[in-house]
Structure 1
Amino acid sequence: MTTDDCDIQIKGGVLVSSKEMKLADVFIRNGLVDSIETPGSGRKAKRTIDATGKYVLPGIVEAHLHPVYADRLETLSRAAVYGGITTLIPYIGAVKAWGVEGNLLDAVNYFMEEGARDSVIDFGLHCSLVASDLADLETTIPQICAKGVRSFKGFMAYRKRGMFLSDADLMRILSVLKENGGLFCVHAENGDLCDFLEDRFTAEGKTGPEYYAPSRPAITEAEATFRILSFAKVLDCPMYVVHVSTREALDVIGMFKAWGGAPIYTETCTHYLTLTNEEMLKLGSLAKVSPPLREKEHIDALWQAIIDGKVDVVGADTGGHLIAKKEPRFGDVFKAPAGLPGQETMFTVTYDEGVNRRQVSLCRLVEIMCEKPAKIFGIFPRKGVLQPGADGDVLIFDPMKQHTITAANQHVNTDYTMYENRTVLGAPEIVIQRGEILLEDGELKARKGRAQFLRADPA
């Protein structure tokens, strides 16, 4: 071909998919991938981007964030672009503290409007279910699914925060989701056992950071995972187990997968792949997250599960608070809020740890950070892949660019990072969405109001 009707040609780079790495040129026209050509095809475009020596990836799909604390969708979407992310799927809900008055359907409408107004990149939504949402569940779930939101999260912990769901609640939710083609995303910890241990430590005056992880031991995650997957197997409902942090939970999921039934998807997070409980001892409640940071044996088990194809998605679980809100730091850490920042560092740190330090395949990272989340959450092949007809969402990644992470160079309101002074090899160079340059030469060019809401197709 010799036509020059395309808007962008990305030439000279190594195109990476979940299956292969190859030298190829990507052509984008009218916001979509128009063709993938072998180098030297003769095809031209209005603008040519030389990606020689770089990786050309689909834009990263981030499927686990909470834009309701120190950062909302405006700042988190901006930070996402700096981190190579082009699609966000946040968890939202009908919580007054998050700005929502009304029921879960009202919350969906509220955050659709906020995303359209404030986000600089395309977004979907997940709904978080709490006890107050259950009264009209059979009515609201079909209405929400009809709006293109099909993933719903429930908590097996947090009774004291009013988020805990009983076994009977969980079975009812699974039944309704099964009837409506929904997917249940579960926070699996045995909340009653966690509360019992926390109360016992508190009564004994053991409230320092060294007692946080022991209050939520690995068995609490494994037991809850076994229980919810038992319900799901009987009710034949697809399951997505969020932020898996332990070897034991991986074992439980593997057992249920071997038994067959409805799909079970496994997610872990960058912090569980890189940080241990030593951070809690050093930083106090700044490192408080639920489930807690674990020991190195669990990190190694999670990476092996990634290599073995047993992990489907890596997310950030961004839920950052200001340092001032994380008090008490070293006193009664049980009273401090849980949640970590991590939007901007999600892909670069996972890449550095996995590819540079553990020799994990970059194709595997593309599968679990682009393709799989797009498939699971009903936005594939529009997102998560570079092939003709897909959105022209591209990350041009420089594997030789070294940079040091500090709180000062992050683009969020949250005023600390868990990776302070960590030097990372590999960084986004250019980020494109639907053929529009969002990041180039370190400059954010995206403007809020350009984002599109992504309807989730039925599984």
Structure 2
Amino acid sequence: MPILIRGGTVVNADCSARADVYIEDGIIKAVGLDLDIPSDAEIIDAGGQYVMPGGIDPHTHMQLPFMGTVASEDFYTGTAAGLAGGTTMIIDFVIPSPQQSLMEAYDTWRGWAEKACSDYSFHVAVTWWDDSVHEDMQTLVEHEGVNSFKHFMAYKNAIMAEDETLYNSFSRALELGAMPTVHAENGEMVFQLQQKLLKMGMTGPEAHPLSRPPAAEGEAANRAIRLAEVIGVPLYLVHVSTEDALQEIAVARARGQRVYGEALAGHLLIDESVYRDPDFATAAAHVMSPPFREKHHQDALWKGLQNGSLQTTATDHCCFCANQKAAGKDDFSKIPNGTAGVEDRLAILWTYGVGTGKLTMEEFVAITSTNTARIFNIYPRKGVIRSGADADIVIWDPAAEKTISAKTHHQNVDFNIFEGRKVKGLPSHTISNGEIRYRQGALHTAPGTGRYIKRPAFAPAFHALEKIAKATAPKPVKRK
């Protein structure tokens, strides 16, 4: 059924204006005043509310097999929770095991994701290297619409990519017009610190942040950025949690390098004191990597979003319940890493960003939707309210309030890292593919109503960079 959103203020990343929005066949057909619409259109009164592009979460892990267990959130429950919070698309991660074919892993994740009820796409991790990986990357880019490849610089003896793999994969990404992304932590440093702390008798969650100090992130960020600089490929750093890594990004961007940074909603608000909670279950529930940091890092991350050093926000949504976290009761290094947040990201950023004056409404839209769409090459199909864009829309009620709680959230996990926080500003409606999927507190979802979104390669711009690199390459000296 056609829909007219009437009486609201449309907020895009570049401007805001009073306008109505007409939707038909899953597409935004018109934006303006006094629109000519069919008589059978459903009318949503958005008076006093903001009409914004649906959130895009560029970093989730639904149904992830990890550390001996499987994340409790699947692609249906996770995307439904996202819709309840105003997020209309996720970019999840295919993570092959070492020596596993990239295409085999990709096909597995595509099968799991068929139950998604909002749109989704994938980054694919490169965890090892040989000629088959080289070929699979091309297949993924050219036939499956994957334009980003993830590299874990942490998790030694599991999925960590060594420098040789990074070099080969970054170089191949440049050839294909794809974006390398990295989890920047020095895996060897983390491993050695974990062993040291365990030998000292520190087995609880309080040791987790000590084993992953800010320097481990700063060093890895610098190494990845410098490698990308030498190869000539753009780079995206996920879940930047420290001032150390942020400074590396800022310096690289100042010298003209195309480097992007992502901040997690949790890292903006929560500090490392949570790991010293006397209740093991509560402390363990916060174990994720990189860990929550000392408070001064939060201030730096907010400033990074304000000054443009960081461009996107995400959640790293990866849920494990208390019985799963208990696997590390006697060894913190065995606590499954991950926390939730896909439902709460927009409300948290509005309340503590827009609501405190740290962000404008337009900046909120940029860091929750538009910038992700631009960086991963799906703009203006996604990330904007304009004629021709997908009708992925959140109608935002700035006066609505609630207290976040695991007892009332839609996420399939028994703990919420934002438990007890009051937020002001919530979705009244979430529209996905032109259908109202969340209305005034009630979800209207069904498995399989989401679509896989292909993301085109960045070939023209990347090939120009490759030509520059070749043109400036040193020439051999001719000798007699």
Aligned residue among 129, 145, 153 for 1:156: 153
Q: Residue in 1 aligned with 2:402?
A: 403
Contact 1:284 1:333 survives alignment (8 Å):
no
Matched residues in 2 for 1:416 and 1:235: separation? 42
- Which amino acid counterpart does residue 115 of structure 2 have in structure 1? D
- Aligned partners of 1:93 and 1:209: how far apart in 2? 26
Any residues of structure 2 matched to 1:100-111 within 5 Å, and which? Answer: 103-111=101-109
Please, which of 75, 79, 91 is the counterpart of residue 77 of structure 2? 75
Q: Give the Cα–Cα distance (whole angstroms) in 2 for the partners of residues 42 and 106 of structure 1.
A: 49
The residue that corresponds to 1:369 in the other structure is 368
Distance (whole Å) between structure 1 residues aligned to residue 36 and residue 389 of structure 2? 22
Q: Corresponding residue for 2:289?
A: 290
Note the C-alpha offset of 1:79: 0.6
Query: What is the alpha-carbon distance in structure 1 between the residues aligned to residue 11 and residue 146 of structure 2?
Result: 29
> Per the alignment, do residues 421 and 210 of structure 1 end up closer, same or farther by CA in structure 2, a change over 3 Å counting?
same
Q: How many Å apart are 1:182 and its aligned residue?
A: 1.0
Q: Write the distance in 2 (CA, Å) between the matches of 1:194 and 1:359.
A: 33
Partner residue of 1:237 out of 233, 238, 241: 233
State how far apart, in whole Å, the 2-side matches of 1:197 and 1:135 are: 34
Identity %: 31
Residue 120 of structure 2 corresponds to residue 114 of structure 1: no
CA contact (8 A) 1:402 1:425 kept: yes
Correspondence for 2:25 = 30
- Taking the TM superposition and a 5 Å limit, the aligned residue runs for 1:39-188 are 40=34, 46-67=41-62, 68=64, 69-95=71-97, 103-115=101-113, 117-131=114-128, 134=130, 136-146=132-142, 147-160=144-157, 162-188=158-184
Could you say which residue in structure 2 is the equivalent of 1:394? 393
Separation (CA, whole Å) in 2 of partners of 1:293 and 1:310? 20
- Compared with structure 1, are the counterparts of its residues 207 and 441 closer, same or farther at alpha carbon in structure 2 (3 Å cutoff)? same
The yes-or-no answer on 1:215 pairing with 2:211 is yes
CA-CA distance at 1:335 after TM superposition? 2.1
C-alpha separation between the residues in 1 aligned to 2:15 and 2:38?
25
Cα distance in structure 2, aligned partners of 1:159 and 1:363: 40
> One-letter code of the match for 1:33?
I
What is the alpha-carbon distance in structure 1 between the residues aligned to residue 32 and residue 170 of structure 2?
Answer: 45
Matched residues, number = 445
The alignment's TM-score, normalised by the length of structure 2, stands at 0.89
1:357 deviation in Å? 2.9
CA distance in 2, matches of 1:276, 1:50: 40
Q: Is the 8 A contact 1:284 1:329 kept in 2?
A: no
SS in 2 for 1:432: strand
Instruction: For 2:191 and 2:449, locate their aligned partners in 1 and report how far apart those are by CA, in whole Å.
Output: 44
1:18 paired residue number: 13
Q: Is the 8 A contact 2:146 2:457 kept in 1?
A: no
Deviation at 1:134, TM superposition (A): 4.1
Q: How far has the Cα of 1:44 moved from its partner?
A: 5.8
Residues 1:108 and 1:256: Cα distance change in structure 2 (over 3 Å): same
Deviation at 1:238, TM superposition (A): 1.4
Q: Is the 8 A contact 2:56 2:368 kept in 1?
A: yes
Residue 339 of structure 2 aligns to a residue whose secondary structure is coil
SS of equivalent residue, structure 1 residue 408 = coil
Would you say 1:7 and 2:6 are equivalent positions?
Answer: no
**Can you list the C-alpha shifts for 1:300-358, whole angstroms capped at 9, x where unaligned?**
11101111122111001011101111126764322211111111111111211111134
Instruction: Determine whether 1:429 maps to 2:425.
Output: no
Could you tell me how far 1:264 is from its partner in structure 2? 1.1
Structure 1 segments unaligned to the other structure (5+ residues): 1-5
CA RMSD of superposed structures (Å)? 1.7
Cα shift readout 1:409-441 (whole Å, capped 9, x = no counterpart): 122321111111211111111011221111112
**Separation of aligned partners in 1, 2:357 and 2:125:** 34
The residue that corresponds to 1:299 in the other structure is 298
Query: Which of 358-367 and 221-230 deviates more?
Result: 358-367
- CA distance in structure 2 between the aligned counterparts of 1:419 and 1:258, rounded to whole angstroms: 34
